[in-house]
Structure 1
Amino acid sequence: MARFRSFAQEHEIKDLYLHGRRFTWSSERAVPTLTRIDRAFASVDWDLMNPDSILQALSSSVSDHAPRHLSLSAAFRPKRRFKFEAFLLNLEGFEEVLTEAWVYDPSIVDPFRRLDALFRNAVEFFQAWGERKVGNIKLKIAMANTLILRFDVAQESRTLTHAEAWLRRTLKLVVLGLASLERTIARQRSRIRWLQEGDANTKLFHAVANGRRTKNYIASVRVGEETVTTQERKNEVFTEAFDRLIGSIHNREYTLNLEALNILCSELE
């Protein structure tokens, strides 16, 4: 065991997260002893090469151990949704875009549908505005680094012109700013608060982000006699469940006469 621990520490192997089960062995008695003595280990490099892997326990069948099933292609990536990025607040023109986006159809009288319309309009405006204002950060960094490399190679054989030197300095500042912006976005999305400059591309960051995503992944949902596994059907099931929780509009048998109670009407705009 000491040699195994030394091997695990030397090669930095990690215990893969077992999804959906806490124990893998049972004593098979009337009041069973349950433990997790079956484990799967992998290196950090393997974990980064297989970000969509998921480890699950199968039926123990005739054994007292539950065999494990390792899938390398779990459907972790559902349809991308709009996420409001904190850095948008600091961009020039944010308040103007928000004022333009925060509108709704006056014919909508239901306050919940009105709020839904406001959010949907805001999403459309901010998606288009963010794409124009920022664009693809990784692509911009790659393009800037490509140009800087060409200038680096050129100055080995000749002196850069004033315009070329100015552009090279400007591109370095652009890369620095975009890298800081990339860190800010990665920090918000991953909820890793200790993320420092440049840490968004380290193995540690990706390992932590992959681990959090694996733990939050819902492999299946049980609805009555149905076991749902596809992403589309899981979306439908959760939407239906929340619709039932929120309720539906119906005509009330009784109402309150607010005027008779002398309750002033408030402007809710």
Structure 2
Amino acid sequence: MGGFLDVVKEAWVCNPDITDPFMRLDIMLQNTARALATWGQKEIGNIKLQIAIANIVILRFDSAQESRVLTEEERWLRTTLKQLVLGLASLERTIARQRSRVTWLREGDANTQLFHLVAKGRRMKNYIASLTVDWHIITDQVGKEEAFYKAYKELLGKDCARGFTLDLEELGVTSIDLSEQDRIFSEEEIWGAIKDLPSDKAPGPDGFIGLFFQKAWEIIKDDIVAVVHKLFLGNGRGFGTLTKH
């Protein structure tokens, strides 16, 4: 992990006076994001520069092959550099994808023209200009609403009393105890959901991918569980005080 967990452990702190789980999680995620960005820059360095240097060396090996046979050490270095370039290129795409998320959130939160243009585009994409019902084209809003209402009303049918009923006890259907459905989520259940997260996708707008939660679980689990429990109990107080990323 190259010190990754040490960085998370050091950054995953919050003022003890702040007791609201939502606020604590928000603050610690922001602290960790800044710490990991600094650590990543030190560990990885300039990705574009590394790729450029590796490509230059590979090109020289390719040129040398035209006039002589490469030594075993040169072939090993050429293969290693090619693998390095592929890995760095993949990392560069991941970083660009994460940056695009952060940029979009910032632009959207700023209520900019870009945000409104995208929202308008989605609205136009979801807009139904016309309907064809019984070979008639309907374009007015009232007519479309009536057509949808009629179609779904016919689809759902009518509520009426049944002439017969079923005796489940007579059929011998085994009853199921559903009392545990209202039981609060356990740490094991939450961890099970965390393990099923896609490792390369962010489940929320904070930009942290599933792999972060999986690798750092032992450090962050208490705060994640606290937030899930508060949500389960229907207590959403604290959301409105979160700071923008």
Higher strand share: 1
The TM-score with structure 2 as length reference comes to 0.36
Higher helix share: 2
